Amino acid sequence: MIPIYPILIRQHDALVEDLLDRAELATTGGIARPARWSTSVRIANALELAIARRRGILPGPPRAPLDRLTHFSGIAVPAVLVALAALHASWAFGSYWPADSESELAEYVLSDGERHRLGGDLPSAALTWAVALSLGGAAAIVRAAASGARSRWLRRAAWAVSAAFFARAAAYLPSDLIGGLEDTYQRLDAAVYAPLCLGLGAGTAIVVRGPMARSKEVHE
């Protein structure tokens, strides 16, 4: 529950605030300060609605909200991937940010088993550059898919990007939770890395299967 707790608590709070707004409207005839949904609540609701409509639980989707979600994902996912690529490039150049030393950065970004295999050091600059280039390539693929450049190869590549991030989250989360979140990496992975990978995987899938993507396929 730790990785999805922030999502659930925001959904819960938004529901309570909406109920209180309805009560205020019913008793006073107006709402002095209407509650506003956060971006994470809007994304979570849109995903839930999309899944429900795809399964036939709800009738035909309203196009505009899903178009906005697809547009948002098509910008946000590549932007995050470019930022991650730049961060890895800075490490390849010798920076330790956001840590103060190589050993501290290794504790932030490597699991206990990986640190043992590397003797407590960071991966080589060549491997770090490979990760940075892979992230940059993934950003280019998702952005191309979002901008309307459609092809069977591009769709498969975008699905591969989505699957890779889902697999990354699934591969590490169980060991983090089983390990009791005792070391720095496990806590960071459960709180930041794995949820970020889930978000990137979901965002990429939204771009590939969003309403704008489907309209492009019809034209093809």
Q: Tokens 């704008």 sit at which residue?
A: 212
Which residues, 6 or more positions from 105, have their beta carbon under 8 angstroms from its beta carbon? 91, 96, 99, 122
pLDDT by residue (tens digit) across 153-174? 888 999 999 999 999 888 877 7
pLDDT by residue (tens digit) across 20-79? 999 999 999 889 889 888 888 888 888 888 787 777 776 654 555 557 788 888 899 999
User: Which band of pLDDT confidence, cut at 50, 70 and 90, is reported for residue 130?
Assistant: very high
Task: For the chain, give the percent of residues with pLDDT over 70.
Answer: 87
Domain assignments of the chain as residue spans, ordered by start = 62-219
Give pLDDT, residue 126.
92
Q: Are 164 and 198 in contact (CB under 8 A)?
A: no
Question: For residue 188, is pLDDT > 70?
Answer: yes
Mean pLDDT of 111-120: 72
Angle between helices 194-209 and 39-54 (to 10 degrees): 50
Question: For residue 129, is pLDDT > 90?
Answer: yes
More confident residue, 58 or 128: 128
